[in-house]
């Protein structure tokens, strides 16, 4: 009976942890002029190590206002990864209130992550970006994360790969940023490895090719519609195979 009681308490605690984690994630996508957004996450367990967010970063003047985009994946699963995900969210929100540049913000988050990474064992891959709505400019840092897919309106595929090491590995790591201008009709797909590494009963990975195939036919599609198609296609591909990693995807359309 004591063992059953412990399991009940553990299940209740996990459910509370999941509710708290849900509070840390954004609700409906914000309204940004010239940009449509959709996102979702599918935890492999009750709580997840994936994180995504979109929130404003006010400047001194309206012309200096920016929007922060983040998608991250903490190494590991369940409670330990979820706790580090919460500290990632807290450090990102705190540092974003300072006048730090994007590389300085990433460096500050890395130093904080190193103090909680158990010697680099609990590192975090992250994609951080700052969007300038006035110039439609997307400045980003890829900290060891899956390279987001930028599909231009004409069909050209670009990868956002500039950045540095995952957060939490090397305290004095340097981070470089790069910028891309988003033109009308461009798509940007930001995701965690749980999406492309999802496997079916034959141990075949979903892969990026299927994501690209869906993008080919998405000219007049909204991000939410494409996200629904993507998640349905992934579910059909995986079938009854147990999910082994968190799946997170964020879609942007200019």
Distance, CA of 155 to CA of 145 (rounded, Å):
23
Which domains are assigned to the chain?
Answer: 22-253 (3.60.40.10)
Q: Which residues contact 139 (CB under 8 A, 6 or more apart)?
A: 102, 129, 130, 131, 132, 177, 178, 179
pLDDT computed for residue 227 by the predictor: 97
Check pLDDT > 80 for residue 45: no
Residue 122: count of CB within 10 angstroms of its CB: 20
Check pLDDT > 80 for residue 145: yes
Q: What is the mean pLDDT of residues 98-113?
A: 94
Percent of the chain with pLDDT over 70: 86
Kindly report, residue by residue over 22-34, the tens digit of the pLDDT: 666 788 999 998 8
Query: Which backbone phi and psi does 74 adopt, to 5 degrees?
Result: -80, 135
| Chain mean pLDDT for the chain | 89
pLDDT computed for residue 1 by the predictor: 65
Kindly report, residue by residue over 156-174, the tens digit of the pLDDT: 999 999 999 999 999 999 9
Check pLDDT > 90 for residue 119: no
Alpha-carbon torsion angle 91, 30, 24, 12, nearest 10? -170
Kindly report, residue by residue over 173-188, the tens digit of the pLDDT: 999 999 999 999 999 9
Check pLDDT > 90 for residue 230: yes
Q: Which residues contact 109 (CB under 8 A, 6 or more apart)?
A: 88, 91, 92, 95, 126, 128, 167
Which of 66-70, 117-121, 151-155 is predicted least confidently?
Answer: 117-121
Check pLDDT > 60 for residue 17: no
pLDDT computed for residue 220 by the predictor: 87
- 16 or 3: which carries more pLDDT confidence? 3
Confidence of residue 2 (pLDDT cuts 50, 70, 90): low
């Amino acid at each position: 009976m004591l063992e059953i009681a412990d399991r009940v308490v553990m299940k209740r605690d996990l459910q509370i942890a999941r509710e708290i984690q849900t509070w840390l994630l954004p609700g409906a996508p914000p309204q940004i002029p010239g940009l449509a957004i959709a996102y979702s996450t599918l935890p492999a367990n009750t709580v997840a190590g994936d994180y995504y967010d979109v929130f404003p970063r006010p400047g001194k003047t309206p012309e200096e206002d920016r929007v922060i985009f983040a998608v991250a994946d903490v190494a590991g699963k369940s409670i330990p990864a979820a706790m580090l995900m919460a500290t990632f969210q807290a450090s990102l929100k705190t540092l974003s209130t300072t006048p730090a540049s994007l590389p300085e913000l990433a460096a500050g988050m890395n130093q904080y992550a190193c103090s909680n990474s158990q010697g680099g064992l609990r590192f975090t891959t992250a994609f951080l970006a700052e969007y300038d709505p006035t110039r439609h400019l997307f400045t980003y840092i890829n900290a060891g994360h899956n390279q987001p897919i930028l599909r231009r309106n004409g069909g050209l595929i670009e990868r956002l790969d500039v950045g540095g090491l995952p957060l939490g590995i090397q305290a004095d790591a340097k981070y470089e940023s790069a910028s891309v201008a988003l033109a009308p009709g461009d798509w940007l797909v930001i995701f965690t490895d749980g999406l492309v590494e999802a496997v079916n009963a034959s141990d075949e990975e979903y892969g990026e090719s299927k994501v690209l195939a869906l993008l080919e036919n998405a000219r007049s599609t909204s991000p939410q519609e494409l996200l629904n198609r993507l998640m349905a296609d992934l579910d059909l591909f995986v079938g009854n195979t147990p999910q082994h990693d968190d799946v997170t995807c964020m879609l942007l359309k200019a």
